[in-house]
Amino acid sequence: MISPDIVIETLPFRVSSAQYFGVIARKLLQQWWSIGLLLLVGMITATCYDLRFGIVLLMFLFLIVPLILFMVYYNYALRPEAFYSVVEKIAIIDFKGINCLYDEQQRCVLQWDRVNNVVFTHDAFMIYTDTYTYFYIPRDAFADNSSLKGFEQLLRSVIS
Protein backbone atom coordinates (compact mmCIF):
# COMPACT_ATOMS: atom_id res chain seq x y z
CA MET A 1 0.00 0.00 0.00
CA ILE A 2 1.22 3.48 -0.83
CA SER A 3 1.72 5.62 2.24
CA PRO A 4 -0.30 8.86 2.13
CA ASP A 5 2.46 10.85 3.84
CA ILE A 6 5.07 10.34 1.08
CA VAL A 7 5.60 13.46 -1.05
CA ILE A 8 8.61 13.61 -3.35
CA GLU A 9 9.52 16.74 -5.27
CA THR A 10 12.04 16.65 -8.12
CA LEU A 11 14.38 19.24 -9.46
CA PRO A 12 13.34 21.02 -12.68
CA PHE A 13 13.80 18.66 -15.64
CA ARG A 14 12.73 17.97 -19.20
CA VAL A 15 13.42 15.48 -21.97
CA SER A 16 13.90 16.42 -25.60
CA SER A 17 11.05 15.75 -28.00
CA ALA A 18 13.37 13.72 -30.22
CA GLN A 19 14.34 11.46 -27.35
CA TYR A 20 10.72 11.01 -26.27
CA PHE A 21 9.48 10.24 -29.77
CA GLY A 22 12.53 8.01 -30.40
CA VAL A 23 11.36 5.59 -27.70
CA ILE A 24 7.90 5.42 -29.29
CA ALA A 25 9.39 4.92 -32.77
CA ARG A 26 11.73 2.14 -31.55
CA LYS A 27 8.86 0.35 -29.85
CA LEU A 28 6.73 0.56 -33.00
CA LEU A 29 9.60 -0.61 -35.19
CA GLN A 30 10.21 -3.59 -32.93
CA GLN A 31 6.65 -4.72 -33.56
CA TRP A 32 6.24 -3.77 -37.24
CA TRP A 33 9.73 -4.08 -38.80
CA SER A 34 8.88 -7.28 -40.67
CA ILE A 35 5.96 -5.73 -42.56
CA GLY A 36 8.04 -2.72 -43.62
CA LEU A 37 10.89 -4.94 -44.74
CA LEU A 38 8.52 -7.21 -46.66
CA LEU A 39 7.01 -4.20 -48.49
CA LEU A 40 10.44 -2.80 -49.30
CA VAL A 41 11.82 -6.09 -50.63
CA GLY A 42 8.63 -6.73 -52.62
CA MET A 43 8.71 -3.30 -54.23
CA ILE A 44 12.43 -3.54 -55.05
CA THR A 45 11.87 -6.97 -56.59
CA ALA A 46 8.90 -5.67 -58.59
CA THR A 47 11.02 -2.70 -59.75
CA CYS A 48 13.47 -5.15 -61.32
CA TYR A 49 10.66 -6.36 -63.60
CA ASP A 50 8.91 -3.06 -64.27
CA LEU A 51 10.29 0.41 -63.53
CA ARG A 52 6.84 1.75 -62.65
CA PHE A 53 6.98 -0.09 -59.34
CA GLY A 54 10.01 2.06 -58.49
CA ILE A 55 7.79 5.11 -58.79
CA VAL A 56 5.26 3.45 -56.50
CA LEU A 57 8.07 2.72 -54.04
CA LEU A 58 9.15 6.37 -54.06
CA MET A 59 5.54 7.47 -53.60
CA PHE A 60 5.28 5.13 -50.64
CA LEU A 61 8.50 6.45 -49.10
CA PHE A 62 7.77 10.14 -49.60
CA LEU A 63 3.97 10.24 -49.19
CA ILE A 64 2.77 7.31 -47.09
CA VAL A 65 5.61 7.03 -44.54
CA PRO A 66 5.42 10.74 -43.52
CA LEU A 67 1.66 10.42 -43.07
CA ILE A 68 2.17 7.36 -40.87
CA LEU A 69 4.74 9.27 -38.79
CA PHE A 70 2.32 12.20 -38.45
CA MET A 71 -0.44 9.83 -37.32
CA VAL A 72 1.82 8.24 -34.71
CA TYR A 73 2.94 11.66 -33.47
CA TYR A 74 -0.64 12.95 -33.35
CA ASN A 75 -1.97 9.87 -31.53
CA TYR A 76 0.78 9.34 -28.98
CA ALA A 77 3.06 12.35 -28.61
CA LEU A 78 0.30 14.92 -28.06
CA ARG A 79 -1.18 13.31 -24.94
CA PRO A 80 -0.82 15.05 -21.56
CA GLU A 81 1.82 12.55 -20.36
CA ALA A 82 3.91 13.31 -23.42
CA PHE A 83 3.45 17.07 -23.18
CA TYR A 84 4.49 17.18 -19.55
CA SER A 85 7.47 14.95 -20.27
CA VAL A 86 9.00 17.34 -22.80
CA VAL A 87 8.43 20.70 -21.08
CA GLU A 88 10.47 22.16 -18.22
CA LYS A 89 8.65 21.25 -15.00
CA ILE A 90 8.95 20.07 -11.42
CA ALA A 91 7.25 16.75 -10.64
CA ILE A 92 5.45 16.39 -7.33
CA ILE A 93 4.91 12.70 -6.57
CA ASP A 94 2.50 11.58 -3.86
CA PHE A 95 0.21 8.67 -3.01
CA LYS A 96 -2.42 9.78 -5.58
CA GLY A 97 -0.13 10.16 -8.58
CA ILE A 98 2.16 12.65 -10.27
CA ASN A 99 1.46 16.35 -10.46
CA CYS A 100 3.62 18.81 -12.37
CA LEU A 101 4.45 22.36 -11.47
CA TYR A 102 4.51 23.96 -14.91
CA ASP A 103 4.09 27.63 -15.77
CA GLU A 104 3.62 28.39 -12.06
CA GLN A 105 0.54 26.15 -11.84
CA GLN A 106 0.22 22.66 -10.45
CA ARG A 107 -1.43 20.26 -12.89
CA CYS A 108 -2.37 16.60 -12.50
CA VAL A 109 -0.49 14.50 -15.05
CA LEU A 110 -1.33 10.94 -14.10
CA GLN A 111 -2.88 8.92 -11.34
CA TRP A 112 -1.47 5.62 -10.14
CA ASP A 113 -4.57 3.65 -11.12
CA ARG A 114 -3.94 4.51 -14.80
CA VAL A 115 -0.40 3.06 -14.77
CA ASN A 116 -0.04 -0.10 -16.88
CA ASN A 117 3.70 -0.68 -16.72
CA VAL A 118 6.87 0.91 -15.40
CA VAL A 119 10.19 0.48 -17.21
CA PHE A 120 13.35 1.05 -15.19
CA THR A 121 16.40 2.02 -17.26
CA HIS A 122 19.87 2.99 -16.09
CA ASP A 123 19.12 6.70 -16.51
CA ALA A 124 15.32 7.09 -16.29
CA PHE A 125 11.89 5.79 -15.33
CA MET A 126 9.22 5.41 -18.00
CA ILE A 127 5.74 5.17 -16.50
CA TYR A 128 3.44 3.77 -19.18
CA THR A 129 -0.27 4.62 -19.17
CA ASP A 130 -0.87 3.01 -22.56
CA THR A 131 1.14 0.86 -24.96
CA TYR A 132 3.02 3.82 -26.46
CA THR A 133 2.22 6.64 -24.01
CA TYR A 134 4.46 7.19 -21.04
CA PHE A 135 5.67 9.78 -18.56
CA TYR A 136 9.46 10.15 -18.47
CA ILE A 137 11.38 10.93 -15.28
CA PRO A 138 15.20 10.93 -15.42
CA ARG A 139 17.08 9.64 -12.40
CA ASP A 140 19.12 12.83 -12.15
CA ALA A 141 15.91 14.83 -11.53
CA PHE A 142 15.94 13.75 -7.89
CA ALA A 143 17.82 15.98 -5.47
CA ASP A 144 19.33 13.20 -3.38
CA ASN A 145 19.64 9.44 -3.25
CA SER A 146 17.01 9.01 -0.51
CA SER A 147 14.25 10.61 -2.61
CA LEU A 148 15.30 8.42 -5.56
CA LYS A 149 15.07 5.27 -3.41
CA GLY A 150 11.72 6.42 -2.00
CA PHE A 151 10.39 6.93 -5.53
CA GLU A 152 11.61 3.48 -6.59
CA GLN A 153 9.82 1.93 -3.60
CA LEU A 154 6.68 3.88 -4.46
CA LEU A 155 6.83 2.63 -8.07
CA ARG A 156 7.37 -0.96 -6.97
CA SER A 157 4.30 -0.74 -4.74
CA VAL A 158 2.31 0.72 -7.67
CA ILE A 159 3.39 -2.13 -9.96
CA SER A 160 2.42 -4.80 -7.42
- Given a cut of 70, the residues of the chain with pLDDT beneath it are 1-4
- Is the four-CA dihedral 84, 89, 93, 96 of positive or negative sign? negative
- Other C-beta atoms closer than 10 Å to the C-beta of 62 total 9
For residue 72, what pLDDT is reported?
A: 84
pLDDT of res. 23: 86
Which candidate, 152, 101, 109, 102, places its Cα nearest to that of 134?
109
pLDDT at 104: 86
CA distance 85 to 15: 6
What's the pLDDT at 82? Answer: 83
Write down the pLDDT at residue 38: 93
Rounded to whole angstroms, how far apart are CA atoms 100 and 76? 19
Q: What is the pLDDT of residue 81?
A: 81
Can you give the pLDDT at residue 24?
Answer: 87
Distance CA 146, CA 144 (A): 6
